[in-house]
Amino acid sequence: MRFMVIVKASKDSEAGVMPSEAQLTEMGAYNDALVKAGVMLDGEGLHPSAKGVRVRFDGKARSVTDGPFSETKELIAGFWMWQVRSKEEAIEWLKRAPFVDGEEVELRQVFEMEDFGAAMTPELREQEERQRAELGQLKARG
């Protein structure tokens, strides 16, 4: 099972406050444990929403709104992608994360091809597999 771990933004992350060396060291050790256990597939921190945009779709019309966005509790500061055997295993890993100052983290299961049933035709399955292979090659290059 794959899970996305969504680290919610805070006033500090939205203000562009960077983590300290101690925090980076602690998070690096945690990430090392995730990698060594074969759990972590990917993970990144995100710039504040002031550097982002939102695109709204209304039929064929597209509108772009520049950040920052006001509702910090609804923003994302970073993420991990994990591969685990169960939701319970993901929760146990997440409990070990080195957060201490009221951070909020959301855990969401990622859909797998099998979850789409008959709508995932053999042609769509082949397309999905090709795209994943291409993404793997791009990641390996860079």
Give me the CATH number covering residue 88: 3.30.70.1060
Q: Is 33 found in the same domain as 86?
A: yes
Could you report the per-residue pLDDT of 86-141, keeping only the tens digit for each? 999 999 999 999 998 888 899 999 999 999 999 999 999 999 999 999 998 998 99
Domain that holds residue 140: 111-142
Task: Answer yes or no: pTM beyond 0.75.
Answer: yes
The number of angstroms, rounded, from the C-alpha of 110 to the middle of its chain's C-alpha atoms is 10
Cβ contacts of 9 within 8 Å, gap of 6 or more: 48, 49, 72, 73, 75, 76, 77
Phi, then psi, of 58 in degrees rounded to 5: -135, 95
Q: Is 55 found in the same domain as 85?
A: yes
Q: Are 85 and 93 in contact (CB under 8 A)?
A: no
Q: Is 115 found in the same domain as 47?
A: no
Count of domains observed in the chain: 2
Q: Is the pLDDT of residue 13 over 80?
A: yes
pLDDT of residue 74: 86
Q: Is 117 found in the same domain as 66?
A: no
